[in-house]
Amino acid sequence: MDSSFAPFDLVIRGGTIVTANGRFQGDIGVRGSTIARISDTLPSRPHGPREQMRGRREIDAQGRMITPGGVDPHVHLTCSDASDDDPGWVDDFESGSAAALAGGVTTMGNMSFVLPWETLTERLRRESEQADRQAIADVFLHPAVLSPHPAIIAELGPAAARGITSLKFFMSLPSFDSAGGQFQLAMRAAGAAGSITLIHCEDSATIACCTTVLRERHERSLRHFPQSRPVLAEVIATERAISMCEATGAPTYIVHLSSARALEACAAARARGLPVYVETRPLYLHLTSEQYDHDDGALYVAQPPLRQARDRDALWAGLANGTIDTIASDHAPWTRAMKMDPSLDLSRLRPGVADLETMLPMLFSEGVLGGRISAERFVAVSATNAARLFGLYPRKGTIAVGSDADLVMWETHHPRIIRGADMHSRAGHTVYEGRELGAWPHTTIRRGEIVFEAGRVVGKPGSGQVLVRGKTEAPTWDSPSAAPATASAIR
């Protein structure tokens, strides 16, 4: 298709190209928005007589790893029309994109809350229009359904046909238990349409019970937050989600799994052949619940709460052995003042943290450079698996001819200290303040365009695309023991 003599728009020369399946040294030639050619480079003859790709722009990547642009399937960005008294998360698609690209994420999956008076179509149209104007990273939208009435369920099939192949709901909300049957019907409809169902697994009844007991003891401050949402609340809900998966046959994706016990339940379900997929979140890999004992403990309020060291260690093992499929930031940005607001207590929370910019540099530094996971697993959990599960593969999530040229070139030679003030999120602070990173993105390329370099986001708002997705697809596993016995339930 391409003549070796015609120049490419961009050539990235001599980097170590990493995919979920392996790594090699090579050159990448980009034409327009896609990868047009990849060639092996033998280190022994980097300037040998063989044909060399020529580009209008060339980047020397010698000594650097190149990974696919991250696919972060779980972020919370504010759509401006959703205004009420509470300003909500402080990033929109523009500032969220800047944080993403500076952190090596080129595709973001946003949770789009369908308000009770809206149709799914209306909500997604509104958010798509805003993303079209603001986004620099590419975007896909998950409808998050609070009230799955029959008209919403009827929209799931047509939405899937238009490329919206996911659905999210929350077991943590009191409304879940009164509508369990409707949620199961929604899951069934989503599965039949080739979509995947994302579930927030914390049991609302257990949370209500624990919170009432704490209130009776006058322990309502955020210091008691972890006791209000114990591991058992997650285990009960995760086991229920697994049973709903079995009852409906629908591909089921557990968001931000936080505990060893919930992970064991998912691993057992997969061993029985159920299409259960697991996401974790950076907070649980890098922090433990002692944070709540400190004066700034409110900064770490997130749902589920931070857990124990043994949970953290189990999650790292799950990332390495394949029982965890994806990592997602669950980017839910608030300013420090909003998080430390003294009026907050167990009945009034601002859960979540800004993590889009720090997630992949932390995972690369602590995981790959720290020897906990291979660079190939890094690619699988940060890009490839999410692209498959959310119907974007092989356009996204890998480095291959014909794929979008979404690439991250890593800086691993100069350690850097994380400072909230340097971050692109409007949160303006980070829970990892002062930590040292051994790796961070040197250059980020989205669909062939350099969008982040020399510490600056240079992509333009409105250049991001809202992606039309295909059906959900099972990730492939490098560890056979961790693979579901059958993937046939994925339709």
Least distance to Zn ion, CB of residue 330, Å = 4
Q: Would you say 281 or 446 has its CB closer to Zn ion? A: 281
In 230-355, which ranges are continuous DSSP H helix?
231-248, 260-271, 282-286, 309-321, 336-339
Least distance to Zn ion, CB of residue 431, Å = 16
The rounded distance, in Å, linking the Cα atoms of 25 and 45 is 12
Assigned token pair, 303: 């749902």
In 3D space, the residue among 139, 66, 143 whose CA is nearest the CA of residue 107 turns out to be 139
Whether residue 301 contacts residue 351, with contact meaning beta carbons closer than 8 Å, is answered with yes
Q: Would you say 325 or 330 has its CB closer to Zn ion? A: 330
- Please report the sign of the dihedral spanned by the C-alpha atoms of residue 158, residue 162, residue 165, residue 167: negative
Least distance to Zn ion, CB of residue 285, Å = 16
The rounded distance, in Å, linking the Cα atoms of 336 and 467 is 33
Around 237, how many Cα atoms within 13 Å sit in the side-chain half-sphere?
A: 33
Q: Would you say 10 or 124 has its CB closer to Zn ion? A: 124
Near Zn ion in 312-331, by CB under 5 A = 330
Q: Would you say 76 or 442 has its CB closer to Zn ion? A: 76
The rounded distance, in Å, linking the Cα atoms of 478 and 399 is 18
Report the DSSP pairing between strands 22-31 and 70-75.
Answer: unpaired
Q: Would you say 239 or 279 has its CB closer to Zn ion? A: 279
Q: Would you say 256 or 469 has its CB closer to Zn ion? A: 256
Least distance to Zn ion, CB of residue 59, Å = 35
Q: Would you say 330 or 366 has its CB closer to Zn ion? A: 330
Assigned token pair, 273: 């052949």
Assigned token pair, 472: 């959900």
Q: Would you say 176 or 477 has its CB closer to Zn ion? A: 176
Position 477, amino acid = W
Near Zn ion in 324-383, by CB under 5 A = 330
Near Zn ion in 40-59, by CB under 5 A = none
The rounded distance, in Å, linking the Cα atoms of 58 and 46 is 15
**Beta partners for 59?**
12
**Count of residues in contact with Zn ion, rule CB under 5 A:** 1
138 interacts with Zn ion by CB under 5 A: no
Render 377-417 in DSSP notation, one character per residue. Answer: HHHIIIIIHHHHHTT-TTTSSS--TTSB--EEEEE-SS-EE
> Which residue's Cβ has the minimum distance to Zn ion?
330
Count CB atoms within 10 A of the CB of residue 481. 11
Q: Which residues bind Zn ion (CB under 5 A)?
A: 330
